[in-house]
């Protein structure tokens, strides 16, 4: 079916996954209201599984998008393989949140149906954020994603730590949104359009049509994206927000929010500003170096495992920026490949953390992991796999992902950037293997908290994620092929538009 956006129905079809998930979120909210006798009652556990069903339906609708075809690659909503791939990424993060959070939220007296509604709406925002070709629609997706996540970060209202993290996240998030919106205004003033392909046409193949307003706007957009992906020096909110939020929500933020922000970052800069790659490529080059070096150095001395994982997520943003700087099909493909592996190992690591942390998340220090491998072999084995993959150990998905990013950087001539990536990864071995060493070679302290019984959903996420991380590390071909096809749909589209302009 060809979509030309000539009617409202065409827009509904193009946005079918987002429409399905939005309507389902409203239905979940109403179901939660009517199943309660009064406001003080906790939500039914069935709310979680109803939410999971909505995510599955949105995933089916997302797969159906592959049967659609655009009349031209200039529509407000992109219908391409890159959007389908990025949608599956954020839906995966949302599904993993639901599976790992059910028993945790009950133990923390947070069995609130609103939490699942906020996660579903944030996921809708992520899908719009990563799948739009118009800067104003991208901004709407950004805000729809951000506002629910601000609330989720501070949902632990009895915790001062949670309130502090939410406030910092909200203030710096609003600050970054202002940068982003002002950047849109500048780009519109210079290119007379907010459509990404129209901006690329106005700039031209070699950037000859880019006036100073476009360049300033592009820099402001980069700052806005830098905040959302937590790149140094725009990372200040990340450790406090991740530490203050409940562990399942921290995992959802580290995986889903970052995946959506990076997908939108890639789409905007490869589609709207390919002619200005000499300018923004150099900017991303240095941003990647600073992010990798600073985040890994701070993580080296961080005894709190939750904050260590926060700095770890910042360092991985640096690795992904290397793929973005390459600005090629193989760079975009390695970017998508690494994002899927990053989602599996990051949510998996936060899932282990919530199991170890115990009620009130009291056991967050690295000493809490002493003897974990012998006290709970399942947690010990899967956490070791996640840590090795995060570090980039051979035969894991994290290693293969970094190899593909290195290949993209070297092919682009960024040898120095590749060297920094390797050295930063070697540096990260210290703080990742330190946790593994505590799990297997240190005796548990007498006052150590007991490891809670694993729920069925948590066990499924842990075992499945660990198995996939290993399988992807040994047999990366299928996922890489899908990533290359999705990346080609994004990288080639602006080239085609510019080629028509030239001829």
* pLDDT tens-place values along the chain, 503 residues long: 787 777 888 888 889 999 999 999 999 988 888 876 566 666 777 888 899 999 999 999 999 988 888 877 777 888 888 899 999 999 999 999 999 888 777 777 766 778 889 999 999 999 999 889 899 999 999 999 999 999 888 887 777 778 888 888 888 888 889 999 999 999 998 888 898 888 888 887 666 666 888 889 999 999 999 998 889 888 888 888 888 888 888 888 888 899 999 999 999 998 888 888 888 888 999 999 999 999 999 999 888 888 899 999 999 999 999 988 887 888 888 989 999 999 999 999 998 888 887 776 677 788 888 888 888 888 889 999 999 999 989 889 999 999 999 999 998 888 999 999 999 999 999 999 999 998 888 877 665 555 566 778 888 999 999 999 999 999 998 888 888 888 887 765 444 433 333 33
**Quick one: pLDDT at residue 102?**
81
Q: What is the pLDDT of residue 500?
A: 33
The answer to whether the beta carbons of residues 383 and 436 sit under 8 Å apart is yes
- The predicted pLDDT at position 247 comes to 83
**Rounded distance, CA 240 to CA 370, Å?**
25
CB atoms within 10 A of CB 4: 11
How far apart, in whole angstroms, are the C-alpha atoms of residue 155 and residue 162?
7
Measured distance CA(256)–CA(97) in Å, rounded: 10
Contact (CB, 8 A) for 421 and 405: yes
Give the count of alpha carbons within 13 A of 459, CB side only.
8
Stretch (H or E) spanning 70? strand 69-70
Q: What is the pLDDT of residue 502?
A: 32
**Token pair for 100:** 């790992």
Angle at CA of residue 305, ends 301 and 311, nearest 5°: 65
pLDDT at 412: 86
Given this model, what pLDDT does residue 205 score?
Answer: 67
Total H helices, total E strands in the chain: 21, 2
DSSP per-residue letters across 319-330: HHHHHHHH-SHH
Q: Which residues contact 359 (CB under 8 A, 6 or more apart)?
A: 107, 108
Per-residue b/e over 11-41, b at no fewer than 16 CB within 10 Å?
Answer: bebbbbbbbbbbebbeebbebbeeeeeeeee
Closest C-alpha to 353, from 343, 344, 340, 366: 366
CA atoms within 13 A on the CB side of 127: 32
Say if CB 297 and CB 257 are below 8 A apart.
no
What confidence score (pLDDT) does residue 494 get?
A: 41
pLDDT at 493: 47
Domain holding 495, by residue range, is 2-502
In three-state secondary structure terms, 301 is: coil
218: tokens are 């592009």
Of 74, 200, 75, nearest in space to 502 by CA: 200
| Cβ pair 62, 130 in contact under 8 A | no
Rounded CA gap, 403 and 393, in Å? 11
Query: Phi, psi (5° rounding) for residue 80?
Result: -145, 170
**pLDDT reported for residue 320:** 92
Task: Give the H/E segment covering residue 2.
Answer: strand 2-3
Q: Residue 159 region, left (φ>0) first, then alpha (ψ -120 to 50), else beta?
A: beta
Q: Which of 268, 176, 178, 263 lies closest to 218, judged by CA? A: 268
Instruction: Specify the number of domains making up the chain.
Output: 1
């Amino acid at each position: 079916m060809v979509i030309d956006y000539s009617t409202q129905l065409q827009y509904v079809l193009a946005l079918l996954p987002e429409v399905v998930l939005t309507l389902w979120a409203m239905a979940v909210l109403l179901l939660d209201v009517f199943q309660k006798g009064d406001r003080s009652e906790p939500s039914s556990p069935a709310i979680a599984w109803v939410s999971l069903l909505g995510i599955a339906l949105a995933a089916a609708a997302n797969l159906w998008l592959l049967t659609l075809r655009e009349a031209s690659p200039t529509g407000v909503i992109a219908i391409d393989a890159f959007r389908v791939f990025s949608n599956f990424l954020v839906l995966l993060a949302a599904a993993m949140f639901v599976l790992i959070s059910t028993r945790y939220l009950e133990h923390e007296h947070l069995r609130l149906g609103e939490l699942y509604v906020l996660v579903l709406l944030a996921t809708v925002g992520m899908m719009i954020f990563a799948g739009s070709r118009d800067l104003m629609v991208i901004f709407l997706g950004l805000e729809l994603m951000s506002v629910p996540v601000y609330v989720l970060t501070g949902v632990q209202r009895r915790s001062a730590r949670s309130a502090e993290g939410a406030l910092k996240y909200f203030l710096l998030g609003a600050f970054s949104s202002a940068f982003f919106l002002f950047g849109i205004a500048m780009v519109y003033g210079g290119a007379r359009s907010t459509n990404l392909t129209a901006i690329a046409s106005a700039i031209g193949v070699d950037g000859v049509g880019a006036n100073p307003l476009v360049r300033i706007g592009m820099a402001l957009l980069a700052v806005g994206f830098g905040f959302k992906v937590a790149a140094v020096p725009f990372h200040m909110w990340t450790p406090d927000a991740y530490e203050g939020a409940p562990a399942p929500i921290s995992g959802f933020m580290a995986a889903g929010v970052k995946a959506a922000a990076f997908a939108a970052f890639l789409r905007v800069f490869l589609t709207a500003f390919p002619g200005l790659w000499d300018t923004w490529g150099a900017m991303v080059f240095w941003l990647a170096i600073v992010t990798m070096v600073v985040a890994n150095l701070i993580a080296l001395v961080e005894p709190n495992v939750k904050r260590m994982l926060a700095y770890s997520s910042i360092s991985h943003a640096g690795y992904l920026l290397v793929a973005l700087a390459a600005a090629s099909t193989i760079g975009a493909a390695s970017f998508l490949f690494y994002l899927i592996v990053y989602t599996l190992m990051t949510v998996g690591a936060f899932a282990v953390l919530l199991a170890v942390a115990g009620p009130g998340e009291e056991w967050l220090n690295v000493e809490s992991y002493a003897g974990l491998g012998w006290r709970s072999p399942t947690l010990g084995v899967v956490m070791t796999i996640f840590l090795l993959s995060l570090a980039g150990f051979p035969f894991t998905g994290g290693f293969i992902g970094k190899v593909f990013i290195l290949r993209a950087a070297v092919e682009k001539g960024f040898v120095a950037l590749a060297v920094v990536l390797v050295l930063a990864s070697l540096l990260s071995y210290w703080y990742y293997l330190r946790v593994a060493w505590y799990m297997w070679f240190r005796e548990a302290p007498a006052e150590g908290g007991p490891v809670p019984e694993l729920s069925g959903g948590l066990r499924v996420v842990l075992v499945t994620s660990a198995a996939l991380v290993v399988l992807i590390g040994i047999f990366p071909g299928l996922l890489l092929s899908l990533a290359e096809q999705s990346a080609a749909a994004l990288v080639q589209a602006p080239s085609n538009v510019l080629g028509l302009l030239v001829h």
